[in-house]
Amino acid sequence: MTDSLDQIFVTLKHWLLSGLDDLLKWLEVAPPGWSMPLVSIVLSLAPILMVFPALFAITTVLERKGLGRIQNRYGPNRVGPFGFLQFAADGIKALIKEDLVPRAADKVVHFIAPVILVITAFTVYAVLPFGRNMVAADLDAGLLFFFAVGAASELAVFMAGWSSRNKYALLGAMRAIAQMVSYEIPLILSSVAVVMITGTLSLTKIVEAQSTHAGLLPDWFVFTPWGFMGFTLFMIAANAELNRSPFDLPEGESEIIAGYFIEYSGFKFALFFLSEYLSMFALSGLGITLFLGGWNAPFAALDFIPSWAWFFAKLLALIFLFIWTRGTLPRLRQDQLMNLAWKFMIPMVLVNLVAAALWHFTGPGWMRWLTSGALVVGAYMLLGKPQFESKDIGKRTYRFAD
């Protein structure tokens, strides 16, 4: 029973495929050889194209509600019960708005940019394992595929900013690219530690490597010194890569209005938001796959809950983390942003690689906890603490809100 529930979507796909095959035989139609693999691909991709935009719709409402709660206000509360149908109203609004393109804009590039962004945002889902046997394309170099496709979106951001012929848009694009290029290094290097330990770039094999249990805790990489540090750095870099607050300088409403998508309106504007949120889910999914055990249950006793439910539960938890961060932290300054990346994150992530190597070569036992842990904590004490403890700022004093 639990197995059938776990594999329900895989079984459904096989059942549909064999049903189609039987139907064609009954109709005595011989399909061409390429048609059945094509149907299989479509059946694998259709759920991705349905589930994640739906999650996007729900997340926008949850985010606005959550931010409202953090800022002591209601958030959307007019459409549907508790305002939970707000996304439908927003979607219809975006669809029926006029699509304005500036007269001086580079029409073709202006049109292609959001399309490329959305395509790359969707493509990375192909290699993410959502559950046991649930991955659209089990590539040998899955992790590399994820980062390669993700890197292509930077060019789309530049295209959007440049083609708008707007100073704010170009400034936003410049900021976005400087930020994405800087934070891509810690993002990739923090996942390299996992690759070093598992010895594979395939995301399904990385999940399999975390499926065992050692005592009470599962063998997730986040429960190791290097894994914990790697996960923390990965999430910070992911936050910057997504241009979300506190790293939202490329959009910075109060400085450059909306950055690279200032000249987009109507549904193209909605596409920018869609791709931003899709990338957020994809990067969260990658973080889950690399550090949080993928679709594995935390305890062996909880294995009866299907694997895909675990994946989405972890995904929602990480989305909550992103919303919480956005509601809590103020925006960084440009020099702070670059200092954080180049003076703290990159040295830290390099030390983390050494810590992972130590963990691997010390062998099982408490010694590797000691050596690897001491290295990570020592590096943080040396690199992080002096930077974050600013000396010329005294204790905070409140003038009005006492």
Binding site for other proteins (CB under 8 A): 109, 139-141, 144-145, 147-149, 151-152, 154-155, 158-159, 162, 177, 181, 184, 199-201
Contacts of 278 by beta carbon, 8 Å cutoff, 6+ apart: 52, 53, 56, 118, 121, 122, 125
CB atoms within 10 A of CB 131: 21
| Minimum distance from residue 402 beta carbon to other proteins (Å) | 43
CA–CA separation, 101 and 88 (whole Å)? 25
DSSP 3-state assignment of 391? coil
| Minimum distance from residue 149 beta carbon to other proteins (Å) | 7
Structure tokens given for 196: 């070093």
CA-to-CA separations, 96 to 44, 87, 89, 128, 140, in angstroms, rounded: 31, 14, 11, 34, 43
| Minimum distance from residue 117 beta carbon to other proteins (Å) | 14
CA 367 from centroid of its chain's CA atoms: 34
Q: Of how many residues is the chain composed?
A: 402
| Minimum distance from residue 381 beta carbon to other proteins (Å) | 26
Q: Which is closer to other proteins, CB of 6 or CB of 184?
A: 184
| Minimum distance from residue 347 beta carbon to other proteins (Å) | 14
| Minimum distance from residue 7 beta carbon to other proteins (Å) | 27
CA–CA separation, 328 and 316 (whole Å)? 18
| Minimum distance from residue 155 beta carbon to other proteins (Å) | 6
Query: 104 near 98, Cβ under 8 Å?
Result: no
How would you classify the pairing of strands 213-214 and 217-218?
A: antiparallel
Q: Which is closer to other proteins, CB of 11 or CB of 200?
A: 200
Read off the amino acid at residue 330.
P
Contacts of 383 by beta carbon, 8 Å cutoff, 6+ apart: 343, 344, 347, 348, 351
CA–CA separation, 288 and 148 (whole Å)? 19
CA–CA separation, 346 and 182 (whole Å)? 9
- H or E element that contains 213: strand 213-214
Nearest Cα to Cα of residue 284 among 337, 250, 253, 323: 323
Note the helical H segments in 199-265: 203-209, 225-241, 253-256
Query: 235 near 147, Cβ under 8 Å?
Result: no
| Minimum distance from residue 144 beta carbon to other proteins (Å) | 4
| Minimum distance from residue 324 beta carbon to other proteins (Å) | 30
Read off the amino acid at residue 86.
Q
